[in-house]
Structure 1
Amino acid sequence: MDILYLLLKIAAVLGMFTLMFLPLAKVTAWDDDSWYVRFVVSALATTAWVALLVFVPGAIIACAVVWGVLLLLSVRHPSLRNLLPFWRWLLSLRHRIKGDSPIFIVERVLGLRPIEDASTDFKGVRDYLAAYSGYDENGEAMLEFSCGISGVTDEFVDKTAKAGLGAMGAEFYKVEHLGPGHWLLHFWKTEPKNPLDDAIEIKASDLSDWDGKTVTYGLTEAGEPAKLSYAQTSGIVVGGVPGAGKSAGATLLTLPLLASPKASVAIFDGKGGMDWHWAEKAASLYNNDCDLDLPTATEQLEQLAQRCVDDLKSHPWSDSDPDFWHAGATALHPFHLVVIDERQTLFDVTGRSKEDKALVERCKRAVATIVRKGRSAGWCVMLLTQKPTADSIPTNIRDNCVVRFALRVTTREAAEAVLGSIPDGDPRPTEIPAPRRGGAVVQGEDGHTVAVRFAYLPVTEAARALESSTLETVVHGLEE
């Protein structure tokens, strides 16, 4: 009978030992080495203490004293808690059971308040909100994360998300900046299909009347409609190498305004070609002789700049409110857009005579005046170029343009000439594949870039849209 009792004790201890190690059956890269060591030490220590009590019943008093001593010492040396029965094992077990919860994904992938023996650099404070959706049928998991902890920057999130690929069982990731201290992390088990790789072709019937503020021009990388709001926007920069789709993009950005009585569009075509011929009849001012007649272009720009200043001073749309956008664009007081294509024709002084250099400086001052003062007056300048350089895009003008589109470029210098500095981890125009005609990255007021692709509308369709008396509501792709 004693032998049977002994065998039952041994079986009970071995059974408990086996059960305590079951959570290790699916250990992956999700679990760091320190967690693994703590779990093993705690499980072994727990098994040893239980075995001592089972085989030496009178040892309970001695065990209680040793536990008390270890508990007191662990105040100074937290690692001693691993030797207490069940202590670290239960904490680690909770970690394993809740492995798919937003809290534990943030802790394990981003390293905020991980389960460990010492305080972290973040002082063990859980000062964040998180929402997690597991892998769907497309093999994508998403973690939305808001954090106010000092030190959790864009660079930190991108670095830790990349390091957390193994923990997520993923091969690819993307960090989407949603706002200050707010990110959306995407993880994919296999390389995802990029919706921007498919060309977006539309017809004139796919366009809607301009609502006085927003233009829909294509798609974002998330598959959402890409929109530009002219409200409170006084400067737009568009640049890219020849053939990248700049003219097609500019068509989508300007056509709704050209077709609307709520907008007045002045066009300066520095190339002197036929790229903007489709818009000539609808434009309030059309000049495609800038390269041949710089004095006339200079005078026209200065006249527009003076009108902008006059509007700002008198605000004719309201006797009491100096902000154009509070009243909004109307046929009586339209929004004014000045388009300058191939801006280097008006801005670059290379090889110019002394007289022409003086005219170029006057052009720069006129454009800078509209960009600086036009926001509240309902004026905006759109600058386009196929040669993104510091000479063709003066930094004092570019830096005051809150919206900047960079289509494909081949050098970092060209990208920065359009966008300025690009935060780490953001999409870059040098990464746009050559076949993705119309692909671009757009930079907003927060300094971050978003990958987009312009839809393609043939200029014949654009001309037909301007001849129509009405434009149908957008369907199909752009507003769905």
Structure 2
Amino acid sequence: MSLHEVFGPAPVLALLGLALMAAWAVWWIVRYALADTMTRASIRQAVRVRRTWKRFAPMAGLSVTDKTPTMLASWSNTDGKPIKPRIIAPTLKVKPDRFGIVARANCLPKVSLEEFQKAAPYLADAWRCTRVSVQPDGPGQVVIRGVRLDPLLTPTARIPTGQMPEQLATWDLGVDEYGQPVSVKLSQVPGVTVAGLPGFGKTCLINGLVCDWAPSPAIQFVGFDGKVSAAHEGDYADLVKRMFAFVGDDMDEANGLFNRLVDLRRARSSAIRAVLGVKSMWDVGPSEGWPFVVVIIDEAHTYFRDYKGNDPESKKLARLAAENARLVEDLVKKGRSVGLLTILATQKSTGDAIPTFIRDVCPVGLSFAQKTAEAAVAALGEDIRNWDDANPINLQDPAYVGVASMSHQSRPGFARIRTPYVSDMDAARIADDTTSLTRDPAELLERMLPSGAVPLTKKEGATPAL
């Protein structure tokens, strides 16, 4: 009699099971060996959490008692003794990453989102985490984020790939205090304000945006930098070649470029139906012929300063500042539908730095460290007073260079974000690789206009290309 006839398929199934277990063990070992030091620690943490969950959950109040016996228990109960109730804990699935773990659990009767959130401090202690967050993850599900290391205190760097962005007009800002990626969609957004003390990351954040979006010919950039006098100076020196125009702190030149942009906005508003066949560019999206124009105004207070004095020079500067404010207001309030985004960066976004009629219509605002409550409120709104943990006046420690606060888009309150550092060498590399994509949007529009239309770049009084 053969072995198969005696034992049937059991040996084959056993060998198959052993092979699967061996393959899983090899995969686990290889993944652990290839991981960096931080991820290895998180893998060990995830193993410990899975191993102790069944015992820990009842102690944290995250279990229920089921007094109804199962069918199998009823059949096997031959002595007539009462069947012991079952203690049921939520099913937990755990995944590690560099900063800690992400666990997903199902809710049970009397163990819902609220109970998980109340148990968050106990979870943090048991799992040896700096902080734990519990959020809904669909009907009857929660996601638990535990960070072993504080992402806000862990500097990060990003090396731009030079590849086309997967989604146009989506700004990848960095990671939040739980190590989760944070991005903001800037389609249909007219303006963004970025505030913060000098040296805390404003310009680096914007440089990172330019590096991420530069490989797309459907995005064009124009720059204003109020702290330099020439294009080869300052933080944007490496990126100027990817901008179709750039000015420094000269008020006459800045005013001329603002006028150019308003002329572009008016021309686009007039031509959009004839050229694109829609009322809003976002109905069809940016294209190489009709690109998304990003207007970067760094040290914005330079261009809006309220000059005092009766001498001719002061009067001239005051007139230019007032006109600059009027022109930028036009871009912010009327540029969204035709594909213009204005980013204004300054140290304090109070009314004397960015006029309130501009600042208050910019729906997205970020703030790095601030010294006063007034500056924090100007940057993020009155509600920031109710969120002390996220208030940028608490980010003045040098350890928080590169950390910003912003209104949370997916839930009430504010998020703190660790923005990645992009080196000057990488910025220069991206600019060199993408400079051939730089085009003047006004010239592109001229090519799309019907024959006989007046060229935008030759209108009377128009500022010549820089």
| TM-score (normalised: structure 1) | 0.59
- Partner residue in 2 for 1:427: 390
Displacement of 1:225: 3.5
Q: Deviations over 1:317-363 (max 9, x none)?
A: 84531111121111111111111010110123154634433322221
SS of 1:231's equivalent? coil
- Partner residue in 2 for 1:289: 249
- Partner residue in 2 for 1:110: none
Contact 1:315 1:322 in 2 (8 A): yes
Aligned length: 347
Q: Deviations over 1:44-64 (max 9, x none)?
A: xxxxxxxxxxxxxxxxxxxxx
User: Closer, same or farther in 2 for the Cα pair 1:456/1:317, shift >3 Å?
Assistant: farther
- Partner residue in 1 for 2:238: 278
SS of 2:318's equivalent? helix
Contact 2:224 2:246 in 1 (8 A): yes
SS of 1:312's equivalent? helix
Displacement of 1:297: 1.5
Contact 1:263 1:337 in 2 (8 A): yes
- Partner residue in 2 for 1:115: none
| Equivalent position amino acid for 2:364 in 1 | V
The match for 2:196 among 215, 229, 240 is 240
- Partner residue in 2 for 1:378: 339
User: Closer, same or farther in 2 for the Cα pair 1:396/1:145, shift >3 Å?
Assistant: farther
- Partner residue in 2 for 1:369: 330
- Partner residue in 2 for 1:229: 185
Displacement of 1:169: 6.6
User: Closer, same or farther in 2 for the Cα pair 1:399/1:445, shift >3 Å?
Assistant: farther
- Partner residue in 2 for 1:309: 266
- Partner residue in 2 for 1:399: 360
SS of 1:414's equivalent? helix
CA–CA distance in structure 2, aligned partners of residues 387 and 168 of structure 1: 36
CA–CA distance in structure 1, aligned partners of residues 165 and 145 of structure 2: 37
- Partner residue in 2 for 1:468: 433
- Partner residue in 2 for 1:436: 400
| Equivalent position amino acid for 1:408 in 2 | A
The match for 1:408 among 369, 376, 392 is 369
- Partner residue in 1 for 2:152: 196
SS of 1:196's equivalent? helix
CA–CA distance in structure 1, aligned partners of residues 346 and 427 of structure 2: 21
CA–CA distance in structure 1, aligned partners of residues 208 and 141 of structure 2: 30
CA–CA distance in structure 1, aligned partners of residues 198 and 224 of structure 2: 18
- Partner residue in 2 for 1:458: 423
Q: Which of 1 and 2 has greater Rg?
A: 1
User: Closer, same or farther in 2 for the Cα pair 1:135/1:208, shift >3 Å?
Assistant: closer
1:330 aligns with 2:287: yes
SS of 1:404's equivalent? strand
| Equivalent position amino acid for 1:437 in 2 | V
- Partner residue in 2 for 1:418: 379
Q: Which segment is superposed worse, 410-419 or 374-383?
A: 410-419
- Partner residue in 2 for 1:41: none
SS of 1:251's equivalent? helix
CA–CA distance in structure 2, aligned partners of residues 178 and 391 of structure 1: 42
CA–CA distance in structure 2, aligned partners of residues 459 and 342 of structure 1: 19
| Equivalent position amino acid for 2:319 in 1 | A
User: Closer, same or farther in 2 for the Cα pair 1:372/1:177, shift >3 Å?
Assistant: farther
Gaps of 5+ in 1: 1-25, 32-89, 103-131, 147-156, 472-480
Contact 1:440 1:452 in 2 (8 A): yes
SS of 2:242's equivalent? coil
1:209 aligns with 2:164: yes
Q: How does 1:17-36 map to 2 (within 5 A)?
A: none
User: Closer, same or farther in 2 for the Cα pair 1:208/1:430, shift >3 Å?
Assistant: farther
User: Closer, same or farther in 2 for the Cα pair 1:256/1:101, shift >3 Å?
Assistant: closer
SS of 1:359's equivalent? helix
Displacement of 1:282: 2.0
Contact 1:317 1:327 in 2 (8 A): no
Q: Deviations over 1:163-186 (max 9, x none)?
A: 97469977965557789x999785
| TM-score (normalised: structure 2) | 0.61
